[in-house]
Amino acid sequence: MDFKRIEWIFFLAFLGLNVFLFNIYSEARSEQRNVSQSNQTIPIEQRLDTEDIRFSGELSDETLSGYYLSGEQTDMTAALKAAQSENKLTGESTVKGQQLTHVASGGFYISDDAQAEETVNGYLKREDQVLYGDEYQYIENLSLIDSTHPTVVATQSYEGIPFNDSSSRIDMTLEQTDDLLQITKYNQTHISSITPLREKMTVYSEKEAVNTLYLNNKLPSHSTILWTELAYTMILKVRDKNVYIPAWFVAFKSDNDDTIQIETVNAFSNRIITNNAVQKVENP
């Protein structure tokens, strides 16, 4: 096939992708909210208090920014072979689909919550234990240390904003040994060639995201907001490219239910996208 033609096909495909993303962003920014003026003038903190929805600290209205990002799912089979040829990953490892499973070798223990971040980040730096470990960081909000089935989560990040997506994640399994928790194995996915698709843009604030969830009846009365976090999540897959946006993840728990629920809000449009399926585009 003529290489000039191939270049034009890819140029038109990514031009169309950029137009598509810009239209989504523009429409969301211009969309009017169906909320009465009286509700708009009442502070969200006061409305939450009326419904007995509790949170610690203050809801931030700080102006932040993020990107539309693209990335490629890493071929973990090829990555594993390359690492083993250089003796960079020792012990038992297997790959299924795009996920690598590794059985930890050696004694890696967590004694308590306060030590978890330091221990995990130290473990991630071990080239004999983790592929691309220096690209991941411990995520406290997603980790469960004090639970029946303790796990630790680490993710990649871009310019200080972590990914909260199954395509970029390490889930470590812990087992109780005396008074310590031992890292026994982990499952890992990884994305490569992370690239901005557009210039950095302003995102909605934490306070605005919580306000959106409240107005849409996603935060039940008599509940507690446990944590909020701005992180990248996948919204679109164009052939071998993943497209990510920044989103607000808000975790909460009702007083009469121990289950932790997490709602997701698109930080560019301020729309709830908790259960949205990833759109797929196979052809230009």
Q: Which of 32-41, 76-85, 106-115, 136-145 has the lowest mean pLDDT?
A: 32-41
DSSP string, 179-233: TEEEEEEEEEE-EEEEEESS--EEE--HHHHHHHHHHTT-S-SSEEEEEEEEEEE
**Residue whose token pair is 């009469």:** 256
- The residues, ordered by sequence, that sit 6+ positions from 70 with a Cβ below 8 Å of its Cβ are 193, 194, 195, 197, 238, 241, 242, 243, 244
pLDDT classification of 35: cutoffs 50, 70, 90? very low
Q: Answer left, alpha or beta for residue 155, where phi above 0 means left and psi between -120 and 50 means alpha.
A: beta
Say yes or no to pLDDT of 16 above 70: no
Residue 47, pLDDT score: 95
Q: What is the pLDDT of residues 176-185, one digit of tens each?
A: 887 888 899 9
In the predicted model, is pLDDT for residue 11 greater than 60? Answer: no
* CATH of region 13-68+197-281, choose from 2.102.10.10, 2.40.50.70, 3.40.630.30, 2.40.128.690: 2.40.128.690
How much is the average pLDDT of 270-279? 91
β partners of residue 156: 136
Q: Which CATH class is domain 73-193?
A: alpha beta
Q: What is the pLDDT of residue 180?
A: 86
Q: For residue 39, give the amino acid letter.
A: N
Residue 3 has a pLDDT of 46
Question: What's this model's pTM, rounded to 2 decimal places?
Answer: 0.85
What single DSSP character describes residue 249?
E
Cβ atoms < 10 Å from Cβ of 60: 13
Domains 13-68+197-281 and 73-193 share a fold: no
Parse the chain into domains and list their residue ranges.
Answer: 13-68+197-281, 73-193
Q: How far is CA 173 from CA 94, 140, 176, 191, in A?
A: 16, 15, 10, 21
Q: Give the pLDDT score at 21.
A: 62
57 — phi, psi (to 5°)?
75, -150
User: How close are the terminal C-alpha atoms of the chain, in Å?
Assistant: 16
Mean residue pLDDT of the chain comes to 87
Read off the tokens for 252.
């909460």
